[in-house]
Structure 1
């Protein structure tokens, strides 16, 4: 089981658990990683804490409790069952005493890089945390996050879908209406790769766009530049009338059968109209994730692939990195 888990959930990879904007101050937030649940919270000082989500008394979910702020800006997580308070180290003070217990839970080790909350899930790091998001955050405006979704699919299936450059024709047909995928090149740098292709979309009348307003945000030809950081990140770099977009898709293996995905959107907006359309760009990104999640529910896992399409080089890149993971 240990070998299977390591291969399928890639133990030792860095996972972006959240952007700080996804956490409200002193409010519990549940995350799952490698088959374990954790509660994560941000105190009034902006510091992030993470503990196992199970109370060591009678097993209540700490994420269903609340945070109690202290005068120094720190806060404790409070169990919803018996109101036991646990500090960032997993220590508590039992009722009727004034003595702090030893740690009852092992805190999840986090790596905080600016607004990005990374973790190796307490496994030995196999590859470094990519620094591309730090660079994007310095150069682009952060628009927001969207589509934080737990999908009932394994990590490999999720990543194969995201690196399948033909699936827009089916999965995203009613959004993009792509008529052809013109693949240009794939650059393979080990755990980092880049894909370039363009995809003309079907002509649409003004009336058709009014019926589906998201179409106003799409160009006649989608010029795609995808930058991939195995296994947790795919960045769609796009240019349109609004400016430059960096749509960052994140992936987290919650368990052998569930994978979490969400999007962080960054942009260099070049006009006032584009700024008014921020929420629409987030809405478009959310639709993409919803359609991907929907199709993944309609796929038989581990089905043998008896035919191969053109331009599956991204999928081959994913398979190779999975197979060579140590």
Structure 2
């Protein structure tokens, strides 16, 4: 299955990597262990120990006096450095590299990779721009979803599902689509979502609902295939929700959301956790519906405003080239 090899994928934000604690990531059907040492250097190796295949991500990091660290296998405590070399028991000699490191591209707090594939498209700069201008609020909705990359992207660019999938809690009544701007592998979608009055029990669960306007004015900025940005203007300030997608395998896609904000008053920073909780709810709702689809069902109905889905299908089929038609309207 096509996983758009040659695209840059955002594997993690630095805040997701606690110093000297291994984390498992997957890309193109290959599992890796990724870790950050005390020098803030980030490394990644194939996750299977070359001895008997134990998961290195289930092991631990061994910190060294110079700030570097090795990853220790949980089975026999063999330590592998960032080059994939180890020292066998009873030997003082370092082996040749037994694990090929995954090439990482570190840009500030962002950890990118092409997964060992020749690059076809450049790394987007939009997240670096947000990091320079806005306060980083945190990461939300980090999970692996049992769905292929194309199905995940079609869901994220289905502008009709807001008043269905996301009706609970947000009480979205309908979607009023306004404009779609097609810029090849980049696009913008604008639509309004009138909301019913939130229920008291929902407000008690998350007071951030009180900061949401009666009509949500949505601006989605899309960078194919890996980033969908929801630009939000709410009474507490400006919010940028950056939804990230990583093709773990043919059947699973990992997602997480980077949230940036510009708050109008210092007291509103106290609501960051409430904003992150709302984002968690959005991801939970999407994950729930994606787990209840029959993905092979032929589509005999086409709704209005499926232009975002058409944009995804066109780019998916033509990647790495952008072909007509231009879908702006």
Which residue of structure 1 lines up, in the alignment, with residue 93 of structure 2? Answer: 99
Other structure's SS at 2:66 match: coil
Q: 1:277 aligns with which of 247, 254, 271?
A: 271
Q: CA deviation at 1:173?
A: 1.0
Separation in 1, partners of 2:58, 2:76:
12
Distance 1:221 1:73 in 2: 51
Matches of 1:315 and 1:105 in 2, distance apart? 39
For residues 205 and 149 of structure 1, the distance between their equivalents in structure 2, rounded to whole angstroms, comes to: 28
TM-superposed CA distance for 1:214, in Å, is: 4.6
Equivalent position of 2:110 in the other structure = 116
Question: For 1:293-325, what per-residue CA distance to the aligned partner results, in whole angstroms no more than 9, with x for missing partners?
Answer: 000001111321111111111000000011102
C-alpha displacement of 1:205: 6.3
In structure 1, the partner of 2:120 is 126
Residue 55 (structure 1) aligned to one of 25, 49, 53? 49
User: Conserved in 2, the CA contact under 8 Å of 1:92 and 1:101?
Assistant: yes
Structure 2 gap segments, 5+ residues each: 321-329
CA distance in 1, matches of 2:206, 2:76: 50
**Could you tell me whether the CA contact under 8 Å between 2:6 and 2:120 is conserved in 1?**
yes
Q: 1:323 aligns with which of 313, 317, 321?
A: 317
Alignment match, 2:33 = 39
Please point out which of 120, 140, 144 is paired with 2:138.
144
Q: 1:173 to 1:57 in 2, by over 3 A?
A: same
Match of 1:68 in 2: 62
1:1-326 aligned at under 5 Å gives the runs 4=1, 7=2, 9-204=3-198, 209-210=203-204, 213-326=207-320
User: Offset at 1:146?
Assistant: 1.2
Q: Deviations over 1:95-127 (max 9, x none)?
A: 101111000011000010000000000001110
- Is the alpha carbon distance of 1:81 and 1:204 closer, same or farther for their aligned partners in structure 2, counting shifts above 3 Å? closer
CA distance in 1, matches of 2:205, 2:39: 46
Q: Whole-Å Cα distance in 1 between the matches of residues 98 and 199 of structure 2?
A: 63
Counterpart secondary structure, 2:300:
coil
Map Cα deviations across residues 2-55 of structure 1 (whole Å, 9 max, x no partner). Answer: xx3xx2x11111100000000000000100000010000000000000000000
- SS state at 2:162 partner: helix
How far did 1:159 drift? 0.4
Q: Contact conserved, 1:44 with 1:74, CA < 8 A, in 2? A: yes
- Partner secondary structure for residue 174 of structure 2: coil
Helix, strand or coil for the counterpart of 1:314? helix
Q: How much has 1:180 moved relative to structure 2?
A: 1.9
Name the SS for the 1:109 alignment partner: coil
Gaps of 5+ in 1: none
Alpha-carbon distance, 1:219 to partner: 1.4
> Aligned partners of 1:205 and 1:130: how far apart in 2?
39
Is the CA contact (8 Å cut-off) linking 1:168 and 1:176 kept in structure 2?
no
Equivalent-residue separation in structure 2 for 1:76 and 1:58 (angstroms): 18
**In 2, Cα distance between equivalents of 1:211 and 1:42:** 35
Summarize deviations over 1:50-77 as a string: whole Å, max 9, x none: 0000000010000000000111110000
Aligned residues: 320
Structure 1 distance, partners of 2:298, 2:138, is: 38
Aligned counterparts of 2:298 and 2:112: Cα–Cα separation in 1: 34
CA distances 1:145-168 after superposition (whole Å, capped 9, x unpaired): 011110000000100000011101
Aligned CA distance change for structure 1 residues 209 and 24 (closer, same or farther; 3 Å):
closer
- Using the size of structure 1 for normalisation, the TM-score is 0.96
> Is the contact made by 2:22 and 2:59 (CA closer than 8 Å) also made in structure 1?
yes
Deviation at 1:213, TM superposition (A): 3.7
Q: Which stretch of structure 1 is more off in the superposition, 215-224 or 316-325? A: 215-224
